[in-house]
Structure 1
């Protein structure tokens, strides 16, 4: 399993709107791509901004290429990102997942 990490920052005022937009763009497109295994979104407060980290999980690098294009190190951005005053990282990181467990009481 491969984890793909992308980060961005938005003004606090756009926190909810951008998170909803992220679900409608990146998350929705990820789910529609064969080989997508799941996602997590992390949020932390910065001074007057929110930082969001999106981790998506994929079965292999070819699946990521189907989502992101041939250069999987580049972030996939969307046309309306600017409306949220988005400060995106333009590159992403990939990690081989070597441990992945969820406590039995938390499984769905």
Structure 2
């Protein structure tokens, strides 16, 4: 499994509106892409800005390509993002998922 992370920053006063925007656009688009295994939307408000971290889980690089395009390292944006984001970061980050455990469900496996 592959985890893909994207980071964005919006003014704090737009934080709730941006979350609603994500729920209408990015989150459903992730979920509609074959091979998507889930999405987490994380937010941290720091003074006058709100940081968003989206973590999506994928079954393969090919599945990510069907969402993001051939260059999976490039972030994907919607035209309306410019109404919220203070800047558009160019790249996302990918991680190999080695294991996961839900609360109370055991231990992570050794590799």
Which range moved further: 64-73 or 75-84? 75-84
Whole-Å separation in 1 of the counterparts to 2:24 and 2:86: 16
Corresponding residue number in structure 2 for 1:77: 77
TM-score for both structures, normalised by structure 1: 0.91
Whole-Å separation in 2 of the counterparts to 1:28 and 1:86: 23
Find the structure with the greater CA-based Rg.
2
State the SS of the aligned residue for 1:62.
helix
Which range moved further: 42-51 or 53-62? 42-51
**Equivalences for residues 1-108 of structure 1 within 5 A:** 1-104=1-104
Gaps of 5+ in 2: 106-111
Specify whether residues 22 and 61 from structure 1 end up closer, same or farther in structure 2 by C-alpha distance, changes over 3 A only.
Answer: same
Which range moved further: 16-25 or 3-12? 16-25
Shift in Å at residue 88 of structure 1?
3.0
TM-score for both structures, normalised by structure 2: 0.89
How many equivalent pairs are there? 105
